[in-house]
Structure 1
C-alpha cells in the first residue's frame, strides 16, 4: 500500500512540475527557481516556491524603480538572499544598500521595505518561518 500511495503522490507532484525523492518514509521536494524569476512592467512579482506549515518560501522580482512597500511579517522571521541585481532595503527606518550575494536576517516585527535602485532586474530568494497568515503566500 505505501508504494502505491507513493506512486500516486509522485505522479501528482510531477504533474505540478516538482520533483520528489523518497528518503526513509519522507518526501523531499525539489523546485527549479528559474521558472519563478518573472518580471512585470506594472509591479514587482512574487512567485511562491514552497508553502508549508512551518515555512513559506518565494522569489521576489523587481524591475528598476519598482518597490515593495513597508510591512511586517507578524512574529515570523525572514531570511532574504539577493540572487541578482541591487537595491535598497529599509528596516525600521534604517536604509541599507544590498547587492547580488547579500543575505539578510530580519525579525518579523521589524518594518521592512525594498526597492530596486539599480539599472538591472533584481531577484531575491525569501524564507519566512514560521509561515505567517495566508495573505503572505499570495502570488503577485
Structure 2
C-alpha cells in the first residue's frame, strides 16, 4: 500500500497549469492537473487509452471532440483515448482535476509539468 497526502500534489503556477504524478504502475498513471482561472490544457488525444477524470475543486469547460461541457466540483467524466480532449478553467477560482489514464501511450504522458 502507498498513501499520499493529496495537497502535496496540488501545486499552482501563475504562468501555466501544472501536472503532478501521484502514482504510476505499469501502463497506468494517476495525476492531478491544477489550473488558475483562465489557464487551459490544449486539445490532445490519448491513443489506445481510457481517461477517467474527477473535478476535485473549482470547475471549467471540457471540450471533447469539439463539444463543450461545463464541469464542477464532484463531476466525473470518462473519455475514450481517440476523443480529442481539452480543459479550460473558466471560473473565478482555481480548479484541480484528478485523472486516471489506464494505458499511457508513451512516457510523455507520465511526467510532471
Superposition TM-score, scaled by structure 1 size? 0.79
In the alignment of these two chains, the number of paired residues is 113
Q: Relative contact order (C-alpha < 8 Å, sep 6+): which is higher?
A: 2
Does the 8 A contact of 2:9 with 2:32 survive in 1? Answer: yes
Residue number in structure 2 paired with 1:105: 78
Secondary structure of 2:11's aligned partner: coil
Does the 8 A contact of 1:52 with 1:131 survive in 2? Answer: no
Higher helix share: 1
Does the 8 A contact of 1:84 with 1:124 survive in 2? Answer: yes
Does the 8 A contact of 2:46 with 2:104 survive in 1? Answer: no
Larger Rg: 1
Query: Once the 2 structures are TM-superposed, how far is the Cα of residue 131 of structure 1 from its aligned partner?
Result: 2.9
Higher strand share: 2
Does the 8 A contact of 2:24 with 2:110 survive in 1? Answer: yes
Superposition TM-score, scaled by structure 2 size? 0.97
Moved over 3 A (4+): none
Q: CA RMSD in A?
A: 0.8
Moved more, 46-55 or 91-100: 46-55
| Distance in 1 separating the partners of 2:65 and 2:71 | 16
Provide Cα deviations, 1:23-69, integer angstroms capped at 9, x if missing partner: xxxxx222211100011101000000011113100000000000000
Residues 1:63 and 2:30 are matched in the alignment: no
